[in-house]
Amino acid sequence: MITINLKPGSKRAKAGSSLAGGLSTLRGLPGRVKDPWPMAAVATWVLLLAFLGWAWLGSAARLRSLGPQLDTARSENRRYHAFMIEKKKALAARDSVVIQIATIRAVDGERYVWPRILDEVTRALPNYTWLIDLSSLSQATAPTDGSVTASPSVGIQLVGRTMDIQGFTRYMRQLEDSPYLKDVTVLSTETVIDRGRAVTAFTVKANYVRPGHTQPEAAPVSPTGEN
């Protein structure tokens, strides 16, 4: 069924009247609302809830982005903790080895003092020179190396004979060159008759230095009588 509107202006008037009525209602709304504060409070709460929701969403997003970094940091912390444990074990093992070496060195140093002294004083003997006495003197404190307490050094006294004064000079020089002897000093020299021959009798003192201790450089003996 087809309906023909013979008054085409009636719908436009109705739409215009509806718009005008809505505007008039909005203009009259402030007059009908006697107290605006409840509306303001409601609007404030709405804005606050919207802000909190936005902040929560932003924090959740940042937390999700920091998750991989947190896992990496935890992994690095575990590796560092394991490294520190291994380092402490290594340091403890090193300290134990150092103590054992120091103990062995101290025991061996005491055990082989006199064999090494005899080896040093006899190895340096030149031709036509011999010893008739080797004795121990009062002990003097030897320097330490800063890590292990050193035992006192051993003072020795040598009494010998030589048929060649130049040989005696070489003997003094070779004693001074020894890495185990220091403070080599001539106490006396004199000419004596031994088995019908004139020889030079000498008395020398020195200090034996244990291996590992700092040894000052010995002053050379003046080569008196050497050509």
Using one digit for the tens of pLDDT, what is the confidence trace for 88-147?
888 888 888 888 887 776 666 566 788 888 999 998 999 889 999 999 886 544 444 444
Supply φ then ψ for residue 221, to 5 degrees: -85, 140
Distance CA 75, CA 86 (A): 17
**pTM (2 d.p.):** 0.42
Supply φ then ψ for residue 226, to 5 degrees: -90, 130
Q: Which residue in the block uniquely carries the two structure tokens 């605006």?
A: 36
Residue 19 has pLDDT above 70, yes or no: no
Torsion sign across C-alpha atoms 22, 26, 31, 37: positive
Given pLDDT bands bounded at 50, 70 and 90, which one contains residue 20?
low
- Give pLDDT tens digits for 163-191: 988 989 999 999 999 988 999 999 999 99
Nearest to 207, CA basis, from 149, 165, 157, 151: 157
Q: Report the 10 Å Cβ neighbour count for 3.
A: 5
Structural domains in the chain? 113-208 (3.30.70.60)
Two structure tokens written together for 180? 């185990």
Given pLDDT bands bounded at 50, 70 and 90, which one contains residue 148?
very low
Residue 214 has pLDDT above 60, yes or no: no
Distance CA 222, CA 217 (A): 15
Residue 62 has pLDDT above 90, yes or no: no
Average pLDDT, the chain: 75
Residue 154 has pLDDT above 50, yes or no: yes
Nearest to 145, CA basis, from 76, 224, 210: 210
pLDDT at 22: 55
- Give pLDDT tens digits for 75-92: 888 888 888 998 888 888
